Structure formats: structure tokens, C-alpha cells
Amino acid sequence: MVAFSYMKKIFLFFTMTIFLLSCSEEKFEAKSDNRFLMGTVCIITLYSGETQDIFDGAFSLIEREDMLMSLQKGNSELSQINEQAGIERLQVSDDIFEVIKTSLLYSQMSHGAFDPTIAPLVELWGIGEDFTGSVPDVSSIDSSKDLIDYREIILGDNNLVFLTETGMKIDLGGIAKGYIADKVKEYLISQGVQRGIINLGGNIIVLGSKPKSQPWKIGIQNPFDSRGNHIGIAAVTDKTIVTSGIYERFFYFEGKRYHHILDPETGYPVENDLASVTIIADRSIDADALSTSLFILGVEEGLTLIETIENSEAVFVTKDKNVIYSSGAEVLFDLQHGDFTHITLEKYGSISQQ
């Protein structure tokens, strides 16, 4: 069971393995600020002597976007869409329309593994800020499952959204943080920022490069160790890195572990051999949706999907501590932890058949 206090979360996030450069060759020291928003710790680190106004502007933006897209906040725009399910079409803001539209793209690409209409199950399982629930009974799972079908979200002209059945609900928990991270990046660039790191609860964007055109070095979390312990390092410039894993939010019930990524087909947390999937891509909205999608699809189907998408790479970590890369991941990622073994897809196939 995990129910971290705010302060503990702040501490853990500060110890996250982002290898911040020593700025000796630059005029300014790194400056960091954080807020607890969207149910997680959001940290922004900038390197060129930016004023507090820029940090404040970025955090206000996150707050505003969360007010649109939160499933938990009763007065969010998302809640209004959900309340109108089966009743009426609702005209929504450009932002939420774009996120829902992009969600549907990933629902199609993942053949329904990623499904934003997952909300009834998310609520039934009690996946929220304090995910300390118990296992729902089978009949409740079955009736919630009946409400889940991304094809029943109808998008129209002029940002109209309609959920065809009463009781249907959208949850953007698997994609909104990525979209909001992209918005923060856009805002920072508009303020003249050239280098920095945006970290929205582990949804990371690196802006520009380190001084002297060196890549940023971002640690990929060891799914079996406490936060801040990594299995290796991704060296990236102007990229986003997003991980979905079984270690993020979970609880134990009668000795079994239940995590927060749900299989729309079974109604239960995904049960496969994966511990985490990390995506390295250009846009965080894509990386966020892809990390959740690939986690649900598993190694083989996940690799097939990621290879069709340009400039996107994946690093899969299995519960057996094997690590499988998409075709371009090896040049970006340096596996360093001796307990983990990089294996090919062929090797993975032969192991999983045993």
C-alpha cells in the first residue's frame, strides 16, 4: 500500500535521478521550483537566471489545464462532459478536445488497449491520489466493463463531444500529463527559455541541451528499487521521456499486488511479464499515451507498434529483469545496472515460449 505524504513525495522527487549539469561554464546556477499539482509533484529546473515569474507562470498553466482535465475535480470540463453522457453534446475547449482526439488515435493504434473511456473502472478500483483500495467484486467489474468503448465517444465539428451511453466517463490520466508538459515547454520557449527540465511526476521533457551542446542525462527508474535508483541513463537533447510501470501506484490485497494500468478487456490491472515501459519521443502527449499503451500491449505487440512511429523509441523492462529495446533505443540508452540484461526480441521470444 502506498499513500505518500506530500513532503515525502517532494523529497523522493528531488532525489530522482536527473543528472543536472554543473553549470560552471555558464553564468547562472540551476534554479528549481516545485508544486504539488495534478496529484503529483511537478518540478521545473531552469538554467539561465530566469525570474520567479516564469516559474509561477508555468505552475499556473499546469493548474489551469488540470482544472479542465481532472476526473477527480467535480467542476472540471471533463466532469461536465461525463455528466452529459447519454444526454447531450457538449462544446469544449480546444485543449481538452485535442487531448480526447489524440487519445482516440492511440485507442485505434493499440486496438483498444489504450481506452480513455476506462474511467468507470478507474473509479471502481479507486485509482486516485490515494490508491489504497480493495479488489471490487466481479459483478461490479463486469458492469463497469460494459461501459468501456472508445468508439462510443463521438467528436463533432466546433469541438463537440458526446458520450453515447449514460454512465460512460472519460479519464485522461494516461495522457493529460504529457499534453500539459508539452504546453509548459511551449510556454517556457515563449518566455525565451532555452534550457531546462520539466518533470511532471516523472513525465519528463528536456528543453534544449546542456551547455556545449552536451545531451542531458536522465536516469530510467529501477522498477524494483526505491525512487531515484536507476537501471541506466538516456542521453537526450530536446526530447521527452515517459515511463509507465507497476511500481508507480499500487496496493496489496491478500498478498497480491494490484497496480493502476487496467486492461479494458478483463477489467483488472494488466497482468503480463512487464515491470515498466519507457518511451523516448519528441512530444510528451505521444510518449505518455504510448507508455501506457505499450505497457498494456506487452513486448511483442508494443514493439510492432512503436516501430511504425517516427522518432519514438521504447525500453521495456520485464519482471525477470530483461531489457528489450526498439530499433533506435540502444544509441540513446546506456544500461548500467548489473542485475539487468539486454536481450534481443528473438531471445525474448524464446524465453517467453518456455
User: Where does this chain bind ligand ADP (CB under 6 A)?
Assistant: 114-116, 118, 122, 127, 171, 173-174, 177, 244, 248-249, 260-262, 264, 288, 291-292, 296
215, exposed or middle or buried, with CB in 10 Å at 0-12, 13-18, 19+? middle
Contact range with Mg ion by CB under 5 A, out of 20-28, 45-53, 171-179, 224-232 = 171-179
Interaction partner, residue 171 (Mg ion, ligand ADP, none; CB < 5-8 Å by kind): ligand ADP
Interaction partner, residue 302 (Mg ion, ligand ADP, none; CB < 5-8 Å by kind): none
Q: Report CA-CA distances (Å) from 109 to 187, 283, 294, 302.
A: 29, 17, 10, 10
Distance in Å, CB of 277 to ligand ADP, minimum: 9
Distance in Å, CB of 338 to ligand ADP, minimum: 27
Is 95 or 286 the residue whose CB approaches Mg ion more closely?
A: 286
Question: Applying CB under 5 A, does 173 fall inside the site for Mg ion?
Answer: no
Q: Report CA-CA distances (Å) from 162 to 65, 86, 113, 176, 329.
A: 20, 8, 21, 19, 39
Residues 6+ apart with CB under 8 A from 289: 102, 103, 106, 114, 174, 175, 178
Is 47 or 179 the residue whose CB approaches ligand ADP more closely?
A: 179
Q: Which residue number places its CB atom closest to Mg ion?
A: 292
Q: Which residue number places its CB atom closest to ligand ADP?
A: 173
CB atoms under 10 Å from CB of 114, counted, come to 28
Question: Applying CB under 5 A, does 288 fall inside the site for Mg ion?
Answer: yes
Is 82 or 291 the residue whose CB approaches ligand ADP more closely?
A: 291
Which three cell numbers mark 42?
Answer: 511537478
Q: How many residues belong to the site for Mg ion (CB under 5 A)?
A: 4
Is 174 or 201 the residue whose CB approaches Mg ion more closely?
A: 174
Distance in Å, CB of 50 to Mg ion, minimum: 28
Question: Applying CB under 5 A, does 292 fall inside the site for Mg ion?
Answer: yes
The angle formed by the CA atoms of residues 23, 193 and 8, to the nearest 5 degrees, is 70
Question: Applying CB under 5 A, does 174 fall inside the site for Mg ion?
Answer: yes
Alpha-carbon distance 84 to 93, whole Å? Answer: 16
Residues 6+ apart with CB under 8 A from 298: 272, 273, 274
Which three cell numbers mark 59?
Answer: 505552475
Alpha-carbon distance 213 to 211, whole Å? Answer: 5
Give residues in contact with Mg ion (CB under 5 A).
Answer: 174, 288, 291-292
